[in-house]
Structure 1
């Protein structure tokens, strides 16, 4: 029986090239349609590099990954390098970079990553002490499908996803921002692809910025740095996502995120530093 090929897997496909002085090289392509105004979404780029890290190390889950974004990234052919730093019994650590090819045969470094990877399915675990549970959110079917909204003309990535937003948090589209820098919604794929740890990297940056609910323009918010901690493999079904911003200062903002699965288990956390939108 032929294995089903999902769109996200096609968009993050890799071709192993060679290993030179311990550095793993992969050919790939930054696909169109996973972008904001023609520039690839930061979570999509992180997922692309994260998949290369997992392939190079043989460990499927980026337990923690930090990406610094060095330049905007249109669609095109690219190369990823993964450099092992250390490998232990539980975790391995690497650095990685994605280079975008240009028409003159050169290339530009787009994103540089430091990641620690493991296998959460076999992880030995340890003590837990949760100080709170999943925040409240409207049921999946009561949230609005982002691909059906006008925001899709600006953020083309929503046409690739089945993300849904809580109605009051995406009312900025009709000129009625909530006044609270909060964004709540559900992450899912339209073709039913299961959400694994690589997909959580995409989910961390797959919603409109929470600051769109303040008196700021709904414009491009370029990511400077993004960190994701994957805490568990999600149960089947959509993942509830919560994002908020507390400080917009000197043209920069932070956005903190939490992702919870259908069983109310915390599966990922994120924080990013980004440039504030300008009209």
Structure 2
């Protein structure tokens, strides 16, 4: 068991309840990273569904208040178990306070038409990319949990045209990412964590120093589009791409894609976040 698995582990307490512990090693400014919280909730939901034939297809998390370090309680409910789809909810609570609320759908593969207009971006391999740590505006504990290498110009580094806060045409960010501590498991919880593990794409247009409170997530939705391929090493880098197209009234949206090195789209994500 690696640190990610340990820090997102849940303990069954009976009646759909699970014990958990929020670890400070996943902190970003005022609280834990949203992807970390999503991964923890997904573990509880998966345990509650208890059906390996029905993997998660969709997860939405609404963040009500920042969790604090320490013990937490996750209350799950199977809202409906249908012939093909299971709908489940989860509440993350601490001392009776709601921290996050999640809704997920679990379903087996089903026959139907298939097509794709998506292609993995052509970028430099991780071996030749610059570590994200070299471009980070300020230290954040959660960044130490991942090995990240930037390939998109939105985080091009202090000397590059895409320095955070510079005038670039698009708010795009991302690069290669993997857990720093392995060996990881090929599991949806890790994919969920990846969808919120990169500095916000808005930093391509607005300097992080202009957002004193950061860019806290209001809600995060993850659509799991494919299982980890059998021939793919979950300890290898995944390519994470994030775009923001609209910032208004103090809110910004961000769309994400998580790809294996071999070009399999593992997940799509969307979140709405506050602007400092």
Q: Shorter-chain TM-score: which interval?
A: 0.7 to 0.9
Count how many residue pairs are aligned between Structure 1 and Structure 2.
260
One of 79, 84, 88 as aligned partner of 1:85: 79
Unpaired stretches in structure 1, ≥5 consecutive residues: 101-105
Distance 1:42 1:111 in 2: 10
Alpha-carbon contact 2:135-2:157 (below 8 Å) kept: no
Alpha-carbon contact 1:143-1:167 (below 8 Å) kept: no
Distance 1:262 1:124 in 2: 26
2:147 aligned counterpart, secondary structure = coil
Give the alignment of 1:1-279 within 5 angstroms: 5-19=1-15, 24-59=16-51, 61-100=55-94, 106-118=95-107, 123-146=109-132, 148-149=133-134, 151=136, 153-166=138-151, 168-171=153-156, 176-177=163-164, 179=168, 180-190=170-180, 191-218=182-209, 219=211, 220-235=214-229, 236=232, 237-277=236-276
List structure 1 segments (4+ residues) > 4 angstroms apart after TM superposition: 172-175
Distance 2:137 2:88 in 1: 35
After superposition, the C-alpha distances for 1:6-46 in whole angstroms (9 at most, x for unaligned) are 11110011110011xxxx00011011111102410001001
Alpha-carbon contact 1:172-1:212 (below 8 Å) kept: no
C-alpha displacement of 1:183: 0.6
Alpha-carbon contact 1:172-1:213 (below 8 Å) kept: no
Change over 3 Å in CA distance of 1:268–1:32 after alignment to 2: same
1:256 aligned counterpart, secondary structure = strand
RMSD over aligned Cα atoms = 2.0
Q: Normalization by structure 2: what TM-score?
A: 0.87
Change over 3 Å in CA distance of 1:202–1:173 after alignment to 2: farther
Distance 2:32 2:147 in 1: 18
Distance 2:150 2:141 in 1: 16
Q: Which moved further from structure 2: 205-214 or 71-80?
A: 71-80
After superposition, the C-alpha distances for 1:158-203 in whole angstroms (9 at most, x for unaligned) are 1011222226332366792352310121221122313421111101
Unpaired stretches in structure 2, ≥5 consecutive residues: none
Partner of 1:103: none
Q: Which moved further from structure 2: 61-70 or 163-172?
A: 163-172
Distance 1:129 1:206 in 2: 28
